[in-house]
Chain A
Amino acid sequence: MIKPLLEVEDLSVTFRTPHRMVRAVREISFTVGKEKVGIVGESGSGKSATGRAILKLTPGNGIVTAKRMQFEELDLANATEQDMLKVRGSRIGMILQDPKFSLDPVMRVGDQIAEALPPGLDRKEARERVLEVLEAVQIRNPQRVYDLYPHECSGGMGQRVMIAMMLVPEPKLLIADEPTSALDVTVRMQVLAILDDLVSRRGLGLMFISHDLNLVATFCDRVLIMYAGRIVEECKATELRNATHPYTQGLLASLPRIGERRKKLATLVRDPAWAM
Protein backbone atom coordinates (compact mmCIF):
# COMPACT_ATOMS: atom_id res chain seq x y z
CA MET A 1 0.00 0.00 0.00
CA ILE A 2 1.21 3.53 -0.84
CA LYS A 3 2.16 5.59 2.17
CA PRO A 4 -0.36 8.37 2.81
CA LEU A 5 0.69 12.03 2.69
CA LEU A 6 -0.64 12.78 6.12
CA GLU A 7 -1.08 10.48 9.09
CA VAL A 8 -2.77 11.72 12.22
CA GLU A 9 -3.09 9.72 15.38
CA ASP A 10 -4.96 10.75 18.51
CA LEU A 11 -5.14 14.45 17.71
CA SER A 12 -6.82 16.57 20.37
CA VAL A 13 -7.47 20.29 20.45
CA THR A 14 -8.60 21.90 23.70
CA PHE A 15 -9.46 25.56 24.18
CA ARG A 16 -9.07 27.38 27.46
CA THR A 17 -11.94 29.75 28.09
CA PRO A 18 -12.52 31.83 31.22
CA HIS A 19 -15.13 29.35 32.42
CA ARG A 20 -13.96 25.92 31.36
CA MET A 21 -11.89 23.83 29.03
CA VAL A 22 -13.60 23.16 25.71
CA ARG A 23 -12.50 19.98 24.03
CA ALA A 24 -13.04 20.87 20.38
CA VAL A 25 -11.26 17.82 18.90
CA ARG A 26 -10.92 14.61 20.84
CA GLU A 27 -8.39 11.93 19.97
CA ILE A 28 -9.11 11.58 16.31
CA SER A 29 -7.03 9.52 13.90
CA PHE A 30 -7.11 9.61 10.13
CA THR A 31 -4.94 9.61 7.03
CA VAL A 32 -5.01 11.59 3.80
CA GLY A 33 -3.44 10.24 0.63
CA LYS A 34 -3.55 11.55 -2.92
CA GLU A 35 -7.32 11.73 -2.72
CA LYS A 36 -10.21 13.95 -1.76
CA VAL A 37 -11.11 13.42 1.86
CA GLY A 38 -14.23 15.15 3.10
CA ILE A 39 -14.62 16.17 6.73
CA VAL A 40 -18.27 16.82 7.47
CA GLY A 41 -20.03 17.98 10.57
CA GLU A 42 -22.26 20.69 11.97
CA SER A 43 -21.04 23.92 13.55
CA GLY A 44 -18.87 23.21 16.54
CA SER A 45 -18.08 19.62 15.59
CA GLY A 46 -14.36 20.35 15.43
CA LYS A 47 -13.82 20.10 11.69
CA SER A 48 -12.18 23.52 11.24
CA ALA A 49 -10.13 23.11 14.43
CA THR A 50 -8.76 19.89 12.90
CA GLY A 51 -7.70 21.64 9.69
CA ARG A 52 -6.02 24.45 11.60
CA ALA A 53 -4.24 22.12 14.01
CA ILE A 54 -2.49 20.40 11.10
CA LEU A 55 -0.95 23.71 10.02
CA LYS A 56 -0.36 24.70 13.66
CA LEU A 57 -2.64 27.70 13.25
CA THR A 58 -4.59 27.02 16.41
CA PRO A 59 -5.16 30.29 18.32
CA GLY A 60 -3.12 30.97 21.43
CA ASN A 61 -5.71 29.72 23.89
CA GLY A 62 -5.76 26.31 22.23
CA ILE A 63 -3.68 23.29 23.25
CA VAL A 64 -2.92 20.75 20.54
CA THR A 65 -1.73 17.26 21.40
CA ALA A 66 -1.20 14.28 19.14
CA LYS A 67 0.45 10.94 19.48
CA ARG A 68 1.58 11.27 15.88
CA MET A 69 1.12 13.84 13.15
CA GLN A 70 3.28 12.95 10.20
CA PHE A 71 3.34 14.81 6.90
CA GLU A 72 5.59 12.99 4.44
CA GLU A 73 9.00 12.89 6.24
CA LEU A 74 8.12 15.71 8.62
CA ASP A 75 6.94 15.21 12.18
CA LEU A 76 4.32 17.96 12.50
CA ALA A 77 3.57 17.09 16.10
CA ASN A 78 7.03 18.18 17.19
CA ALA A 79 7.74 20.75 14.46
CA THR A 80 8.90 24.19 15.58
CA GLU A 81 7.48 27.46 14.31
CA GLN A 82 10.62 27.72 12.12
CA ASP A 83 9.83 24.35 10.51
CA MET A 84 6.22 25.37 10.01
CA LEU A 85 7.21 28.50 8.08
CA LYS A 86 8.72 26.18 5.48
CA VAL A 87 5.57 24.04 5.37
CA ARG A 88 2.73 26.55 5.36
CA GLY A 89 1.83 27.56 1.87
CA SER A 90 4.75 25.83 0.21
CA ARG A 91 3.94 22.23 1.11
CA ILE A 92 0.51 22.44 2.67
CA GLY A 93 -1.83 25.08 1.29
CA MET A 94 -5.04 26.35 2.81
CA ILE A 95 -8.15 27.80 1.20
CA LEU A 96 -10.68 29.52 3.41
CA GLN A 97 -14.37 30.15 3.01
CA ASP A 98 -14.64 33.70 1.86
CA PRO A 99 -12.18 35.19 -0.65
CA LYS A 100 -13.37 38.67 0.37
CA PHE A 101 -11.64 38.25 3.70
CA SER A 102 -8.59 36.27 2.65
CA LEU A 103 -7.33 38.61 -0.07
CA ASP A 104 -5.60 41.92 0.56
CA PRO A 105 -8.13 44.58 -0.48
CA VAL A 106 -5.58 47.20 -1.55
CA MET A 107 -3.35 45.04 -3.76
CA ARG A 108 -3.94 43.89 -7.33
CA VAL A 109 -4.74 40.19 -7.32
CA GLY A 110 -1.92 39.41 -9.75
CA ASP A 111 0.64 41.03 -7.47
CA GLN A 112 -0.75 39.08 -4.52
CA ILE A 113 -0.29 35.83 -6.39
CA ALA A 114 3.23 36.92 -7.38
CA GLU A 115 4.15 37.17 -3.69
CA ALA A 116 3.89 33.40 -3.51
CA LEU A 117 6.50 32.94 -6.25
CA PRO A 118 10.08 32.02 -5.34
CA PRO A 119 12.29 35.10 -4.97
CA GLY A 120 14.71 36.11 -7.70
CA LEU A 121 12.33 36.34 -10.64
CA ASP A 122 12.27 39.60 -12.54
CA ARG A 123 8.96 41.42 -13.03
CA LYS A 124 8.32 40.02 -16.47
CA GLU A 125 9.01 36.41 -15.50
CA ALA A 126 6.85 36.79 -12.40
CA ARG A 127 3.98 38.15 -14.43
CA GLU A 128 4.27 35.29 -16.91
CA ARG A 129 4.14 32.73 -14.12
CA VAL A 130 1.10 34.37 -12.54
CA LEU A 131 -0.71 34.44 -15.86
CA GLU A 132 0.00 30.72 -16.21
CA VAL A 133 -1.55 29.84 -12.86
CA LEU A 134 -4.54 32.07 -13.52
CA GLU A 135 -5.07 30.11 -16.68
CA ALA A 136 -4.73 26.86 -14.74
CA VAL A 137 -7.76 27.84 -12.64
CA GLN A 138 -9.76 28.51 -15.78
CA ILE A 139 -9.65 32.27 -15.76
CA ARG A 140 -10.26 33.10 -19.35
CA ASN A 141 -8.77 36.54 -19.54
CA PRO A 142 -5.76 36.39 -17.20
CA GLN A 143 -4.24 39.62 -18.52
CA ARG A 144 -7.29 41.57 -17.39
CA VAL A 145 -7.77 39.71 -14.12
CA TYR A 146 -4.13 40.25 -13.11
CA ASP A 147 -4.78 43.98 -12.68
CA LEU A 148 -8.07 43.72 -10.79
CA TYR A 149 -8.48 44.51 -7.13
CA PRO A 150 -10.28 41.94 -4.96
CA HIS A 151 -13.47 44.04 -4.79
CA GLU A 152 -13.64 43.98 -8.58
CA CYS A 153 -13.75 40.17 -8.62
CA SER A 154 -16.95 38.16 -8.27
CA GLY A 155 -17.06 35.54 -5.52
CA GLY A 156 -16.22 32.70 -7.87
CA MET A 157 -13.39 34.63 -9.46
CA GLY A 158 -11.99 35.57 -6.02
CA GLN A 159 -12.01 31.95 -4.94
CA ARG A 160 -10.22 30.94 -8.13
CA VAL A 161 -7.61 33.61 -7.42
CA MET A 162 -7.16 32.10 -3.95
CA ILE A 163 -6.74 28.65 -5.41
CA ALA A 164 -4.26 30.01 -7.96
CA MET A 165 -2.24 31.60 -5.17
CA MET A 166 -2.18 28.35 -3.23
CA LEU A 167 -1.00 26.44 -6.29
CA VAL A 168 2.04 28.57 -7.08
CA PRO A 169 4.39 26.86 -4.60
CA GLU A 170 3.03 23.45 -5.72
CA PRO A 171 1.95 22.10 -2.34
CA LYS A 172 1.34 18.39 -1.82
CA LEU A 173 -1.67 18.83 0.41
CA LEU A 174 -4.50 21.36 0.25
CA ILE A 175 -6.73 22.02 3.23
CA ALA A 176 -9.90 23.65 2.00
CA ASP A 177 -12.19 24.92 4.76
CA GLU A 178 -15.67 25.43 3.33
CA PRO A 179 -14.13 26.70 0.07
CA THR A 180 -17.42 26.97 -1.77
CA SER A 181 -19.95 27.80 0.95
CA ALA A 182 -19.99 31.51 0.14
CA LEU A 183 -20.52 30.85 -3.56
CA ASP A 184 -23.66 30.49 -5.63
CA VAL A 185 -24.50 26.93 -6.62
CA THR A 186 -23.58 27.18 -10.27
CA VAL A 187 -20.27 28.93 -9.51
CA ARG A 188 -19.65 26.42 -6.73
CA MET A 189 -19.68 23.61 -9.25
CA GLN A 190 -17.08 25.31 -11.42
CA VAL A 191 -14.72 25.86 -8.49
CA LEU A 192 -15.14 22.22 -7.49
CA ALA A 193 -14.40 21.09 -11.02
CA ILE A 194 -11.14 23.03 -10.91
CA LEU A 195 -10.16 21.51 -7.56
CA ASP A 196 -11.11 18.06 -8.79
CA ASP A 197 -9.01 18.48 -11.88
CA LEU A 198 -5.99 19.67 -9.89
CA VAL A 199 -6.19 16.76 -7.49
CA SER A 200 -6.24 14.21 -10.26
CA ARG A 201 -3.70 15.91 -12.54
CA ARG A 202 -1.12 17.03 -9.98
CA GLY A 203 -1.62 14.18 -7.55
CA LEU A 204 -2.56 16.46 -4.67
CA GLY A 205 -4.13 15.41 -1.44
CA LEU A 206 -7.22 17.42 -0.58
CA MET A 207 -8.83 17.78 2.83
CA PHE A 208 -12.25 19.18 2.10
CA ILE A 209 -13.97 20.57 5.19
CA SER A 210 -17.68 21.15 4.71
CA HIS A 211 -21.06 21.13 6.39
CA ASP A 212 -22.74 20.03 3.17
CA LEU A 213 -23.28 16.26 3.19
CA ASN A 214 -24.73 16.10 -0.25
CA LEU A 215 -21.81 17.97 -1.75
CA VAL A 216 -19.20 15.88 0.02
CA ALA A 217 -20.96 12.65 -0.96
CA THR A 218 -20.82 13.59 -4.62
CA PHE A 219 -17.42 15.32 -4.69
CA CYS A 220 -15.07 13.45 -2.36
CA ASP A 221 -13.57 9.96 -2.40
CA ARG A 222 -13.77 9.32 1.30
CA VAL A 223 -15.74 10.99 4.09
CA LEU A 224 -15.10 11.44 7.79
CA ILE A 225 -18.13 12.46 9.82
CA MET A 226 -17.40 14.49 12.94
CA TYR A 227 -19.62 15.03 15.93
CA ALA A 228 -18.64 16.75 19.19
CA GLY A 229 -14.94 16.56 18.38
CA ARG A 230 -14.89 12.91 17.38
CA ILE A 231 -14.91 11.08 14.09
CA VAL A 232 -18.07 9.05 14.50
CA GLU A 233 -17.95 7.42 11.12
CA GLU A 234 -15.68 6.97 8.14
CA CYS A 235 -16.81 5.65 4.78
CA LYS A 236 -16.42 5.84 1.04
CA ALA A 237 -18.26 8.88 -0.28
CA THR A 238 -20.37 6.77 -2.61
CA GLU A 239 -21.53 4.76 0.38
CA LEU A 240 -22.51 7.69 2.58
CA ARG A 241 -26.19 6.91 1.98
CA ASN A 242 -25.69 3.55 3.69
CA ALA A 243 -23.96 5.11 6.69
CA THR A 244 -24.59 3.21 9.88
CA HIS A 245 -24.00 5.73 12.66
CA PRO A 246 -27.32 7.14 13.93
CA TYR A 247 -25.93 10.69 13.76
CA THR A 248 -25.01 10.36 10.08
CA GLN A 249 -28.33 8.72 9.35
CA GLY A 250 -30.11 11.49 11.24
CA LEU A 251 -28.31 14.21 9.30
CA LEU A 252 -29.10 12.56 5.98
CA ALA A 253 -32.76 12.17 6.90
CA SER A 254 -33.06 15.82 7.92
CA LEU A 255 -32.01 17.08 4.47
CA PRO A 256 -34.80 18.19 2.18
CA ARG A 257 -34.39 16.61 -1.24
CA ILE A 258 -35.83 17.52 -4.59
CA GLY A 259 -38.40 14.98 -5.67
CA GLU A 260 -38.90 13.49 -2.25
CA ARG A 261 -42.15 14.97 -1.08
CA ARG A 262 -42.35 14.42 2.62
CA LYS A 263 -44.80 16.27 4.76
CA LYS A 264 -42.27 16.49 7.56
CA LEU A 265 -38.51 16.20 7.66
CA ALA A 266 -36.98 13.85 10.15
CA THR A 267 -35.42 15.75 13.03
CA LEU A 268 -32.28 14.68 14.76
CA VAL A 269 -32.64 13.32 18.26
CA ARG A 270 -29.18 13.65 19.77
CA ASP A 271 -28.03 10.79 21.91
CA PRO A 272 -25.61 11.94 24.66
CA ALA A 273 -23.76 8.65 24.11
CA TRP A 274 -22.49 9.91 20.70
CA ALA A 275 -20.43 12.57 22.43
CA MET A 276 -18.85 10.13 24.88
Chain B
Amino acid sequence: MIEVENLVVRFGKGKAAITAVDSVSFQVKGGEAFGLVGESGCGKTTILRCLAGLNQEWEGVIRIDGKQLSPKRERAFYKLAQIVFQDPYGSLHPRFTVNGTLMEPIKIHGLDRADERIDRVLKQVGLGPAFRFRYPHQLSGGQRQRVAIARALILEPKLLLLDEPTSALDVSVQAEILNLLTDIRDSTGLTFLLVSHDLSVVSHMCDRLAVMNHGQIYEELTVDDLVARRYREAYTRQLFEASLGYDKRLTTAQVKALDEAGA
Protein backbone atom coordinates (compact mmCIF):
# COMPACT_ATOMS: atom_id res chain seq x y z
CA MET B 1 0.00 0.00 0.00
CA ILE B 2 2.79 2.42 0.95
CA GLU B 3 6.31 2.33 -0.44
CA VAL B 4 8.73 5.03 0.62
CA GLU B 5 12.26 5.09 -0.78
CA ASN B 6 15.03 7.45 0.29
CA LEU B 7 12.69 10.18 1.41
CA VAL B 8 14.60 13.35 2.29
CA VAL B 9 13.01 16.49 3.70
CA ARG B 10 14.98 19.65 4.40
CA PHE B 11 13.73 22.83 5.99
CA GLY B 12 15.45 26.15 5.56
CA LYS B 13 18.17 27.20 3.18
CA GLY B 14 21.94 27.36 3.13
CA LYS B 15 23.65 27.16 6.50
CA ALA B 16 20.38 27.20 8.45
CA ALA B 17 19.04 24.15 6.59
CA ILE B 18 18.14 21.19 8.73
CA THR B 19 17.43 17.71 7.48
CA ALA B 20 14.19 16.69 9.17
CA VAL B 21 13.91 13.38 7.33
CA ASP B 22 17.16 11.77 6.31
CA SER B 23 16.76 9.13 3.56
CA VAL B 24 13.99 7.08 5.08
CA SER B 25 12.67 3.95 3.40
CA PHE B 26 9.88 1.65 4.51
CA GLN B 27 6.95 -0.33 3.17
CA VAL B 28 3.48 -0.98 4.52
CA LYS B 29 1.35 -3.77 3.10
CA GLY B 30 -2.37 -3.41 2.37
CA GLY B 31 -4.46 -3.97 5.49
CA GLU B 32 -1.49 -3.66 7.80
CA ALA B 33 -1.21 -1.31 10.78
CA PHE B 34 2.24 0.24 10.88
CA GLY B 35 3.56 2.53 13.59
CA LEU B 36 6.14 5.30 13.39
CA VAL B 37 7.52 5.94 16.86
CA GLY B 38 9.93 8.55 18.12
CA GLU B 39 10.35 11.65 20.22
CA SER B 40 9.58 15.23 19.27
CA GLY B 41 11.55 16.44 16.29
CA CYS B 42 12.48 12.99 15.01
CA GLY B 43 10.65 13.55 11.72
CA LYS B 44 7.71 11.19 12.16
CA THR B 45 5.00 13.76 11.54
CA THR B 46 6.92 15.25 8.62
CA ILE B 47 6.88 11.85 6.90
CA LEU B 48 3.14 11.62 7.45
CA ARG B 49 2.62 15.10 6.03
CA CYS B 50 4.64 14.19 2.91
CA LEU B 51 2.48 11.10 2.43
CA ALA B 52 -0.69 13.18 2.87
CA GLY B 53 0.46 15.79 0.36
CA LEU B 54 0.59 18.52 3.00
CA ASN B 55 4.32 18.96 2.65
CA GLN B 56 5.38 19.42 -0.94
CA GLU B 57 9.11 19.93 -0.51
CA TRP B 58 10.70 16.53 -0.52
CA GLU B 59 12.95 14.27 -2.53
CA GLY B 60 12.76 10.54 -3.00
CA VAL B 61 10.07 8.15 -4.08
CA ILE B 62 6.62 7.72 -2.55
CA ARG B 63 4.26 5.13 -3.97
CA ILE B 64 0.79 4.62 -2.60
CA ASP B 65 -1.38 1.81 -3.91
CA GLY B 66 1.21 1.16 -6.61
CA LYS B 67 1.16 4.68 -8.05
CA GLN B 68 4.17 6.94 -7.80
CA LEU B 69 3.19 10.28 -6.33
CA SER B 70 4.44 13.74 -7.14
CA PRO B 71 4.63 16.33 -4.37
CA LYS B 72 1.45 17.96 -5.66
CA ARG B 73 -1.55 15.65 -5.58
CA GLU B 74 -4.53 15.09 -7.84
CA ARG B 75 -7.97 15.27 -6.34
CA ALA B 76 -8.40 11.50 -6.76
CA PHE B 77 -5.54 10.91 -4.33
CA TYR B 78 -7.61 12.16 -1.42
CA LYS B 79 -10.16 9.42 -2.01
CA LEU B 80 -7.34 6.97 -1.42
CA ALA B 81 -5.68 8.42 1.66
CA GLN B 82 -6.99 10.58 4.49
CA ILE B 83 -5.44 11.94 7.66
CA VAL B 84 -6.61 12.36 11.26
CA PHE B 85 -4.75 15.01 13.26
CA GLN B 86 -3.62 15.13 16.84
CA ASP B 87 -5.65 17.99 18.19
CA PRO B 88 -9.39 17.62 17.80
CA TYR B 89 -9.78 21.18 19.10
CA GLY B 90 -7.72 22.62 16.26
CA SER B 91 -8.59 20.35 13.35
CA LEU B 92 -12.30 21.11 13.02
CA HIS B 93 -13.56 24.41 11.67
CA PRO B 94 -15.20 26.14 14.66
CA ARG B 95 -17.94 27.75 12.56
CA PHE B 96 -18.88 24.61 10.66
CA THR B 97 -21.42 22.22 12.09
CA VAL B 98 -20.57 18.53 11.97
CA ASN B 99 -22.75 18.43 8.87
CA GLY B 100 -20.78 21.27 7.28
CA THR B 101 -17.48 19.54 7.99
CA LEU B 102 -18.69 16.27 6.51
CA MET B 103 -20.35 17.94 3.50
CA GLU B 104 -17.11 19.56 2.37
CA PRO B 105 -15.41 16.42 0.98
CA ILE B 106 -18.71 15.27 -0.53
CA LYS B 107 -19.03 18.53 -2.45
CA ILE B 108 -15.39 18.64 -3.52
CA HIS B 109 -15.59 15.15 -4.96
CA GLY B 110 -19.09 15.61 -6.33
CA LEU B 111 -20.50 12.56 -4.57
CA ASP B 112 -24.17 11.67 -4.57
CA ARG B 113 -26.45 10.56 -1.69
CA ALA B 114 -24.91 13.04 0.77
CA ASP B 115 -27.49 12.48 3.54
CA GLU B 116 -27.10 8.76 3.41
CA ARG B 117 -23.30 8.99 3.51
CA ILE B 118 -23.28 11.37 6.45
CA ASP B 119 -25.73 9.30 8.49
CA ARG B 120 -23.78 6.15 7.77
CA VAL B 121 -20.38 7.59 8.68
CA LEU B 122 -21.71 9.13 11.89
CA LYS B 123 -23.10 5.77 12.88
CA GLN B 124 -19.79 4.17 12.02
CA VAL B 125 -17.92 6.41 14.48
CA GLY B 126 -20.51 5.87 17.20
CA LEU B 127 -22.26 9.24 17.02
CA GLY B 128 -26.00 9.35 16.51
CA PRO B 129 -27.78 11.48 13.89
CA ALA B 130 -28.46 13.99 16.69
CA PHE B 131 -24.84 15.15 16.42
CA ARG B 132 -25.16 16.16 12.80
CA PHE B 133 -26.07 19.78 13.38
CA ARG B 134 -23.86 20.53 16.35
CA TYR B 135 -20.84 22.82 16.39
CA PRO B 136 -17.41 21.64 17.59
CA HIS B 137 -17.66 23.69 20.80
CA GLN B 138 -20.75 21.70 21.71
CA LEU B 139 -18.78 18.46 21.64
CA SER B 140 -16.33 16.87 24.08
CA GLY B 141 -12.74 16.12 23.02
CA GLY B 142 -13.56 12.47 22.35
CA GLN B 143 -16.62 13.35 20.29
CA ARG B 144 -14.61 15.84 18.24
CA GLN B 145 -12.02 13.22 17.48
CA ARG B 146 -14.86 10.94 16.34
CA VAL B 147 -16.02 13.70 13.97
CA ALA B 148 -12.44 14.08 12.69
CA ILE B 149 -12.36 10.33 12.03
CA ALA B 150 -15.76 10.51 10.33
CA ARG B 151 -14.44 13.30 8.09
CA ALA B 152 -11.54 11.11 7.09
CA LEU B 153 -13.76 8.06 6.49
CA ILE B 154 -16.50 9.70 4.46
CA LEU B 155 -14.53 9.36 1.22
CA GLU B 156 -14.05 5.65 1.97
CA PRO B 157 -10.24 5.77 1.69
CA LYS B 158 -8.01 2.72 1.66
CA LEU B 159 -5.34 4.31 3.80
CA LEU B 160 -5.75 6.20 7.05
CA LEU B 161 -2.86 8.34 8.26
CA LEU B 162 -3.11 8.92 12.01
CA ASP B 163 -1.02 11.62 13.65
CA GLU B 164 -1.06 11.08 17.44
CA PRO B 165 -4.83 10.61 17.33
CA THR B 166 -5.25 10.17 21.09
CA SER B 167 -2.44 12.11 22.75
CA ALA B 168 -4.68 15.09 23.53
CA LEU B 169 -7.29 12.90 25.23
CA ASP B 170 -7.80 11.49 28.72
CA VAL B 171 -6.91 7.81 29.06
CA SER B 172 -10.50 6.62 29.37
CA VAL B 173 -11.41 8.52 26.19
CA GLN B 174 -8.24 7.29 24.51
CA ALA B 175 -9.44 3.73 25.08
CA GLU B 176 -12.75 4.50 23.35
CA ILE B 177 -11.07 6.07 20.31
CA LEU B 178 -8.53 3.25 20.00
CA ASN B 179 -11.35 0.72 20.18
CA LEU B 180 -13.24 2.63 17.51
CA LEU B 181 -10.17 2.56 15.24
CA THR B 182 -9.81 -1.19 15.84
CA ASP B 183 -13.47 -1.71 14.89
CA ILE B 184 -13.11 0.37 11.74
CA ARG B 185 -10.06 -1.57 10.68
CA ASP B 186 -11.83 -4.89 11.30
CA SER B 187 -14.88 -3.91 9.28
CA THR B 188 -13.20 -2.11 6.38
CA GLY B 189 -9.74 -3.65 6.07
CA LEU B 190 -8.20 -0.16 6.04
CA THR B 191 -4.44 0.27 6.13
CA PHE B 192 -3.24 2.33 9.11
CA LEU B 193 -0.11 4.38 9.42
CA LEU B 194 0.01 5.53 13.05
CA VAL B 195 2.46 8.16 14.23
CA SER B 196 2.90 8.29 17.98
CA HIS B 197 5.40 8.97 20.73
CA ASP B 198 3.62 6.42 22.89
CA LEU B 199 5.07 2.95 22.52
CA SER B 200 2.19 1.34 24.40
CA VAL B 201 -0.40 2.81 22.02
CA VAL B 202 1.59 1.68 18.99
CA SER B 203 2.10 -1.79 20.43
CA HIS B 204 -1.63 -2.04 21.06
CA MET B 205 -2.70 -0.91 17.59
CA CYS B 206 0.02 -2.03 15.20
CA ASP B 207 1.57 -5.15 13.70
CA ARG B 208 4.92 -3.60 12.89
CA LEU B 209 6.72 -0.39 13.78
CA ALA B 210 9.69 1.73 12.88
CA VAL B 211 11.66 3.54 15.57
CA MET B 212 12.87 6.96 14.48
CA ASN B 213 15.46 9.34 15.86
CA HIS B 214 17.25 12.33 14.29
CA GLY B 215 15.29 11.99 11.04
CA GLN B 216 16.30 8.40 10.46
CA ILE B 217 14.68 5.04 10.97
CA TYR B 218 16.93 3.36 13.50
CA GLU B 219 15.14 0.09 13.46
CA GLU B 220 12.08 -1.66 12.03
CA LEU B 221 10.57 -4.50 14.01
CA THR B 222 7.35 -6.40 14.66
CA VAL B 223 5.39 -5.67 17.79
CA ASP B 224 5.95 -9.27 18.87
CA ASP B 225 9.70 -8.69 18.67
CA LEU B 226 9.35 -5.48 20.64
CA VAL B 227 7.35 -7.17 23.38
CA ALA B 228 9.91 -9.99 23.59
CA ARG B 229 12.62 -7.30 23.79
CA ARG B 230 14.22 -8.52 20.58
CA TYR B 231 15.41 -5.05 19.57
CA ARG B 232 18.88 -4.29 18.27
CA GLU B 233 19.19 -0.58 18.95
CA ALA B 234 20.07 0.90 22.32
CA TYR B 235 17.67 3.75 21.56
CA THR B 236 14.75 1.35 21.16
CA ARG B 237 15.62 -0.17 24.52
CA GLN B 238 15.71 3.26 26.09
CA LEU B 239 12.26 4.13 24.71
CA PHE B 240 10.92 0.75 25.75
CA GLU B 241 12.18 1.02 29.29
CA ALA B 242 11.04 4.60 29.67
CA SER B 243 7.53 3.66 28.64
CA LEU B 244 7.32 1.00 31.35
CA GLY B 245 7.48 3.72 34.00
CA TYR B 246 10.02 5.24 36.32
CA ASP B 247 12.89 3.09 37.47
CA LYS B 248 15.44 4.83 39.61
CA ARG B 249 18.31 2.46 38.92
CA LEU B 250 17.93 2.57 35.16
CA THR B 251 17.37 6.27 34.98
CA THR B 252 20.40 7.19 37.05
CA ALA B 253 22.53 5.05 34.77
CA GLN B 254 20.98 6.72 31.73
CA VAL B 255 21.53 10.22 33.04
CA LYS B 256 25.18 9.37 33.50
CA ALA B 257 25.43 7.92 30.00
CA LEU B 258 23.72 10.95 28.47
CA ASP B 259 25.85 13.37 30.42
CA GLU B 260 28.95 11.64 29.20
CA ALA B 261 27.64 11.86 25.67
CA GLY B 262 27.37 15.60 26.23
CA ALA B 263 23.60 15.82 25.84
B179–A265 contact, CB under 8 A?
A: yes
Tell me, yes or no, whether A121 is within 8 Å of chain B by CB: no
Q: With the chains together, A192 CA to B255 CA distance in Å?
A: 11
Interface residues on B, range: 35 or more
Q: Specify which of A187, A213, A264 is in contact with B171 (CB 8 Å cutoff).
A: A213
Do B258 and A190 touch (CB < 8 A)? yes
**Contact status B245-A214, CB under 8 Å:** yes
Instruction: Determine which of B172, B199, B243 lies in contact with A268 in the assembled complex, contact meaning CB atoms within 8 Å.
Output: B172
| Residues of the B chain whose Cβ atoms lie less than 8 Å from the Cβ of A257 | 200, 204
Contact between A42 and B254, CB atoms less than 8 A apart: no
**Contact indicator A218/B245 (Cβ below 8 Å):** yes
Tell me, in angstroms, the Cα distance from A186 to B211 when the chains sit together.
14
Q: How far is the CA of A192 from the CA of B251 in the complex (A)?
A: 9
For residue A257, which residue of chain B has the nearest CB?
B200
Q: Do A42 and B201 touch (CB < 8 A)?
A: no
Shortest CB–CB separation between residue A246 and chain B, in angstroms? 12
B175 and A185: CB pair below 8 A?
Answer: no
B238 contact set on A, CB distance < 8 A: 186
Q: How far is the CA of A268 from the CA of B244 in the complex (A)?
A: 22
Residues on A with beta carbons closer than 8 Å to the beta carbon of B205: 256
Q: Please tell me which one of the listed residues A42, A196, A256, A264 contacts residue B170 in the complex, with CB atoms under 8 A apart.
A: A42
A214: which B residues are within 8 A, CB to CB? 244-245
Q: Let me know if A189 and B39 touch, CB within 8 A.
A: no
User: At the interface, yes or no: A219 with Cβ under 8 Å from chain B?
Assistant: yes
Judge whether A123 is part of the interface by a CB distance below 8 angstroms: no
Given A259-B227, A268-B172: A218 and B197 within 8 A (CB)? no
A244 CB-CB contact with B under 8 Å: no
- Decide yes or no whether B46 CB sits under 8 A from chain A: no
Chain A CB within 10 Å — which of B179, B223, B226 has the most? B179
Q: Which chain B residues lie closer than 8 Å to A267 at the CB level?
A: 172, 175-176, 179
Minimal beta-carbon separation of A220 from chain B (angstroms): 9
B172 touches A189 (CB 8 A): no
Q: How far is the CB of A272 from chain B (nearest CB, A)?
A: 15
Q: A256 near B203 (CB under 8 angstroms)?
A: yes
Cα distance, A106 to B9, chains bound together (Å): 32
CB distance from A210 to the nearest CB of B (A): 11
Complex contact B246–A256 (CB within 8 A): no
Contact: A254 with B174, CB < 8 Å?
yes
B259 at interface by CB-CB < 8 Å: yes
Compute how far the CA of A266 lies from the CA of B176 in the bound complex, rounded to whole angstroms.
8
A265 in complex: contacting residue of B178, B240, B244, CB < 8 Å: B178
In residues 242-263 of chain B, which contact A (Cβ within 8 Å)? 242-248, 250-252, 254-255, 258-259, 262
With the chains together, A33 CA to B116 CA distance in Å?
A: 61
B170 to A258, Cβ gap below 8 A? no
Q: Given the complex of chains A and B, what is the CA–CA distance between A69 and B262 in angstroms?
A: 45
Q: Does B40 contact A (CB under 8 A)?
A: yes
Residue-wise interface mask of A (121-135) relative to B, using a CB-CB cutoff of 8 A (1 in contact, 0 not)? 000000000000000
CB proximity of A263 to chain B, nearest CB, Å: 7
Report the separation of the CA atoms of residues A258 and B171 in the bound assembly, to the nearest whole angstrom: 15
Q: Does A215 contact B (CB under 8 A)?
A: yes
B166-206 CB mask vs A (1 if < 8 Å, else 0) is 00001110111011001000000000000001011101110
The answer to whether B172 and A218 touch across the interface, beta carbons within 8 angstroms, is: no
Of the A-B pairs whose beta carbons lie under 8 Å apart in the complex, a sample of 14, sorted by A's number, is A42-B170, A184-B40, A186-B242, A189-B246, A189-B250, A189-B251, A193-B255, A194-B255, A218-B245, A258-B200, A258-B226, A258-B227, A258-B240, A261-B227
A residues sitting closer than 8 Å to B (CB atoms) are 42-43, 138, 140, 155, 184-190, 192-194, 196, 211, 213-215, 217-219, 250-251, 254-259, 261-268
Q: Known pairs A185-B239, A259-B227, A264-B182; list 6 more (Cβ under 8 Å).
A: A189-B254, A192-B251, A194-B255, A217-B245, A258-B240, A267-B172
